[in-house]
Amino acid sequence: MFNKNNQNIERFDKRVWLSSPTMHGEELKYMTEAYETNWMSTVGKNINAVEETAAGKSGVKCAAALSSCTAALHLCCRLAGERLYGRPEPGHGALEGRKVFCSDMTFIATLNPVIYEGGIPVFIDTEADSWNMNPKALDKAFSLHPEVKLVVYAELYGFPGKVDEIKKICEKHGALLIEDAAESLGAYAAGKPCGSYGDYGAISYNGNKIITGSSGGCFLTDSEEDAGKVRKWSTQAREAATWYQHEEVGYNYRMSNVVAGVVRGQYPHLEEHIAQKRAIYERYREGFKDFPVRMNPVTEGTVPNYWLSSMIIDEEAMCSVVRTETASDYVRETGKTCPDEILEALAKINAEGRPIWKPMHMQPMYRMHEFVTVSGTGRYRSNAYIAGGVKDVGADIFRRGVCLPSDNKMTKEEQDIVIEVVRECFV
Ligand SMILES: *Cc1c(COP(=O)(O)O)cnc(C)c1O
């Protein structure tokens, strides 16, 4: 195998992942306990333990254990919608026809639930300094649409932005905040855990997250009443009666006690995972310090969980790239590179990288949705990173950015090779 400069390179026998599950043993103990006591259901000790630990770690009074973070976000949207606009008629969404301000640079699961409830996402541009929702753009959006009463905010890659400022802006405009802390479990902003800023919060135990249950998530709140509603809705919304009695629509969203066993066994290792991810980030930063790149920014006053190490290539070091909707091509140039060349180089050594999450306003399904930047508002029209004469920060980070292998089982030696391979792309 040869790299860009025709040097012979070694290939990892065992794939080095972006982020894969890391088990420790206790997970099996709690799963086995569920099996042996026959609590093979959506009720049991593991579920109760996860709810207690999750609330404690995320700095809220209550947590409700669910089948996924997406399910948690769905119920966040329903709660917010019913509180703002009242209970919808059957067959209608709680956010029907209502605009909702959403993070733009995030995974699609942040806002799919807005759509489930009939809401209309309006995307708020990203801040170059924090890679998270830009508070100034959010303020601008409120001045354009003062009737909007809900904001859905996600922390990107475990590096919190200015969520405290976002919260204040929401309060100023009488809007509710849903905080998608799927990627930022264990991270802090302004002295408080991510997940505790929202009126409603959500975390994920998906297989690629900082800790995992193989799947699963939690709804977070300070309201006992809302946690109760979520538990009820997540189990088909049964009323208190001996027979099946129903007054409102429900879902089958409750966490399994077996999955909860895995999550319960993982929580004691959260800090250890964060320390490993942090060491990975620091090694990348050191390894690329003389290269024309910038690692994902650590915003002042925040403590990231360092879930995914990522970087953007300086404009001057970018080779020519053309991206269509689903494919890309680039021109090989000496002294320059691009995300796709780096990803190809990583693939050659059996390491997994990924482009930065493609911003929501650039997705075909949201192309006609409004996109608000600091300097203006418009709709995304082409594959250019300047939309309507307005600097589109998200598109720019997407064009120049790449997520690096960040698996906490990656050894220092493996990471040294990864760093060397990426550095070679700039030669
Ligand atoms: C992973 C992720 C989700 C979805 O989590 P699931 O538990 O897989 O439903 C939501 N939002 C963000 C930002 C994520 O990264």
The reply to whether ligand 1 has any atom less than 6 angstroms from the CB of 183 is yes
Q: Same domain, yes or no, for 162 and 287?
A: no
Q: Same domain, yes or no, for 97 and 141?
A: yes
CA of 129 to the centre of ligand 1 (A): 23
pTM flag (> 0.75) = yes
The reply to whether ligand 1 has any atom less than 6 angstroms from the CB of 68 is yes
C-alpha–C-alpha distance, residues 186 and 57, integer Å:
7
Instruction: Indicate which atom in ligand 1 lies nearest the CA of residue 72.
Output: 9
CA of 204 to the centre of ligand 1 (A): 6
Residue range 56-63: mean pLDDT, rounded: 98
Q: Is the pLDDT of residue 385 over 60?
A: no
354-373, pLDDT tens digit by residue? Answer: 999 999 999 999 988 999 99
CA of 284 to the centre of ligand 1 (A): 25
The reply to whether ligand 1 has any atom less than 6 angstroms from the CB of 109 is yes
CA of 116 to the centre of ligand 1 (A): 15
Least confident of 65-79, 343-357, 378-392, 410-424: 378-392
Tell me the C-alpha to C-alpha distance, in Å, between residue 362 and each of 370, 386, 388. Answer: 11, 12, 14
Contact 154, 183 (CB under 8 A): yes
Q: Same domain, yes or no, for 44 and 58?
A: yes
Q: Same domain, yes or no, for 275 and 263?
A: no
Q: Is the pLDDT of residue 339 over 70?
A: yes
Q: Is residue 61 one of the residues assigned to a domain? A: yes
Last residue of a domain, one of 268, 299, 322: 268
Q: Is residue 18 one of the residues assigned to a domain? A: no
Beta strands in 50-110 (DSSP E): 62-66, 99-103
Q: Same domain, yes or no, for 264 and 274?
A: no
CB atoms within 10 A of CB 105: 30
C-alpha–C-alpha distance, residues 22 and 407, integer Å:
9
- Which protein residue's CA is at the shortest distance from atom 5 of ligand 1? 69
Structural domain range at position 306: 270-369+384-424
Length of the chain: 427
The reply to whether ligand 1 has any atom less than 6 angstroms from the CB of 70 is yes
Instruction: Indicate which atom in ligand 1 lies nearest the CA of residue 70.
Output: 9
- Which protein residue's CA is at the shortest distance from atom 8 of ligand 1? 206
Q: Same domain, yes or no, for 225 and 308?
A: no
DSSP conformation class of 101: E
Ligand 1 pocket mutation, candidates 19, 205, 206, criterion most atoms within 8 A of CB: 206
Contact 375, 39 (CB under 8 A): no
pLDDT of 10 = 80
CA of 202 to the centre of ligand 1 (A): 9
The reply to whether ligand 1 has any atom less than 6 angstroms from the CB of 212 is no
Instruction: Indicate which atom in ligand 1 lies nearest the CA of residue 183.
Output: 15
Last residue of a domain, one of 268, 302, 324: 268
Q: Is residue 19 one of the residues assigned to a domain? A: no
Mean pLDDT of the chain: 95
Contact 339, 314 (CB under 8 A): no
Last residue of a domain, one of 219, 241, 268: 268
- Which protein residue's CA is at the shortest distance from atom 2 of ligand 1? 182
Q: Same domain, yes or no, for 172 and 259?
A: yes
Q: Is residue 379 one of the residues assigned to a domain? A: no
Instruction: Indicate which atom in ligand 1 lies nearest the CA of residue 156.
Output: 13
CATH, residue 323? 3.90.1150.10
Residue 387: pLDDT band by 50, 70, 90 thresholds? very low
CA 299 and chain centroid, separation:
17
Residue range 36-60: mean pLDDT, rounded: 98
Burial 395-425 (b: 16+ CB within 10 A, else e): bbbbbbbbbbbbbbebeeebbebbbebbbbb
The reply to whether ligand 1 has any atom less than 6 angstroms from the CB of 180 is yes
The reply to whether ligand 1 has any atom less than 6 angstroms from the CB of 30 is no
CATH, residue 155? 3.40.640.10
C-alpha–C-alpha distance, residues 368 and 382, integer Å:
12
C-alpha–C-alpha distance, residues 52 and 403, integer Å:
33
* Helix, strand, coil % over all residues of the chain, rounded to 5: 35, 20, 45
C-alpha–C-alpha distance, residues 112 and 425, integer Å:
36
Q: Is residue 164 one of the residues assigned to a domain? A: yes
160-203, pLDDT tens digit by residue? Answer: 999 999 999 999 999 999 999 999 999 999 999 999 999 999 99
Contact 178, 192 (CB under 8 A): no
Contact 183, 158 (CB under 8 A): yes
Q: Is residue 378 one of the residues assigned to a domain? A: no
The residues near 42 (Cβ < 8 Å, ≥ 6 apart) are: 235, 254, 255, 256, 257
Q: Is residue 20 one of the residues assigned to a domain? A: no
Q: Same domain, yes or no, for 313 and 345?
A: yes
The reply to whether ligand 1 has any atom less than 6 angstroms from the CB of 106 is yes
- Which sign does the torsion angle of CA 99, 105, 111, 115 carry? positive
C-alpha–C-alpha distance, residues 205 and 61, integer Å:
19
C-alpha–C-alpha distance, residues 43 and 262, integer Å:
15
The reply to whether ligand 1 has any atom less than 6 angstroms from the CB of 206 is yes
Q: Is 214 helix (H, G, I), strand (E, B) or coil?
A: strand
267-279, pLDDT tens digit by residue? Answer: 999 999 999 999 9
Instruction: Indicate which atom in ligand 1 lies nearest the CA of residue 68.
Output: 7
pLDDT of 375 = 81
Q: Is the pLDDT of residue 381 over 60?
A: no
Q: Same domain, yes or no, for 246 and 278?
A: no
Instruction: Indicate which atom in ligand 1 lies nearest the CA of residue 71.
Output: 9
Q: Same domain, yes or no, for 261 and 274?
A: no
pLDDT of 390 = 58
Instruction: Indicate which atom in ligand 1 lies nearest the CA of residue 154.
Output: 13
Q: Same domain, yes or no, for 248 and 280?
A: no
Ligand 1 pocket mutation, candidates 20, 76, 110, 266, criterion most atoms within 8 A of CB: 110
Q: Is residue 360 one of the residues assigned to a domain? A: yes
CA of 10 to the centre of ligand 1 (A): 34
Instruction: Indicate which atom in ligand 1 lies nearest the CA of residue 205.
Output: 7
Domain count across the chain: 2
The reply to whether ligand 1 has any atom less than 6 angstroms from the CB of 107 is yes
Q: Same domain, yes or no, for 350 and 291?
A: yes
Question: Between residues 426 and 379, which one has the greater pLDDT?
Answer: 426
